[in-house]
Amino acid sequence: MFQSLVAAWVALVMAFVSFVPGFVVPEDKSAANDKSYPYIFVHGFLGWGEDEGIDQDFAYWGATSCHLMQKLRENGVECRDASVGPFSSNWDRACELYA
């Protein structure tokens, strides 16, 4: 009896706690969002960037449907496409991005 009462109480508290974030009113963060950072696209294993020759014929970002980088730039989005080694480790890729 006691265990079922405790379990019901815990379930009720958990249900209440799970709904609390849905009732929070978001604050105006327009001043905090004044910083505009560019979108950086980094390809994965065996990928390529805009600087590679194959990208003119077959874009990595967008594949056959469109050239995503061009579409984003046409719409005013600041984006950059990184070219890092296709066989590099994550450490080497991070170093290439930083350099």
pLDDT band at 19 (very low <50, low <70, confident <90, very high): low
Spatial contact of 86 and 48, defined as CB atoms under 8 Å apart: yes
Closest CA to 47 of 93, 98, 9: 93
Q: pTM (2 decimals)?
A: 0.55
Query: Helix or strand or coil: residue 26?
Result: coil
pLDDT tens-digit map of 28-57: 666 555 567 888 888 878 777 776 766 667
Domain boundaries, the chain: 38-99
